Amino acid sequence: MRAIRQYEFGPAKNLLFEEVPDPEPAEGQVRIRVESAGVHTVDTSIRSGDWPPTMPAPELPTTPGREVAGIVDAVGDVVGTDWLDQRVVAHLGPDPGGYAEAAVVAVKSLHRVPTHVTSSEAVAQIGTGRTAQMDHGCRPDREG
């Protein structure tokens, strides 16, 4: 598969387009054929070497990207096969890998995408949309 790879921190020109092996889902994970990947401010900060203090530094080389939407095409052990061929969106959490044709994620992080929602719309809501709501005081622990 094709993926964006990063071998050192710095400007965007450090990102390389490469062929890499498909990731395989481990127990409790699925593999998503990525149709849309989010580019979040945190991604650009991490790429430049300025990640949030609450996050560990990523190991290099890495494939950036933490927000993806697409189709589940493989499942790991203990994951029901009912997830296969489902349209989903997920935030990958602390383990990046979204800037690729396929990404793996824990099944507990998946959200099904309704047919009337595009992959781009879904991925915009999983990270950036959540951040926008937090920035405007629309948090679950607050009214508004």
State the pLDDT at residue 93. 83
What are the pLDDT digits (tens) for 3-56? 999 999 999 999 999 999 999 999 999 999 999 999 888 888 889 988 778 878
State the pLDDT at residue 133. 55
Closest by CA position to 63, among listed 19, 14, 13, 4 = 4
Residues 6+ apart with CB under 8 A from 108: 28
pTM: 0.85
What are the pLDDT digits (tens) for 88-141? 999 998 788 999 999 999 999 999 999 999 999 999 988 766 555 555 454 444
Residues 6+ apart with CB under 8 A from 100: 1, 2, 3, 4, 20, 23, 34, 37, 63, 65
State the pLDDT at residue 144. 41
In CATH, the number for domain 2-135 is 3.90.180.10
Q: Which residue has the higher pLDDT, 94 or 81?
A: 81
State the pLDDT at residue 128. 62
Per DSSP, the three-state class of 57 is coil
- DSSP single-letter state for residue 137: T
What does the domain layout of the chain look like in residue ranges? 2-135
State the pLDDT at residue 129. 62
In angstroms, the first-to-last Cα distance of the chain is 43
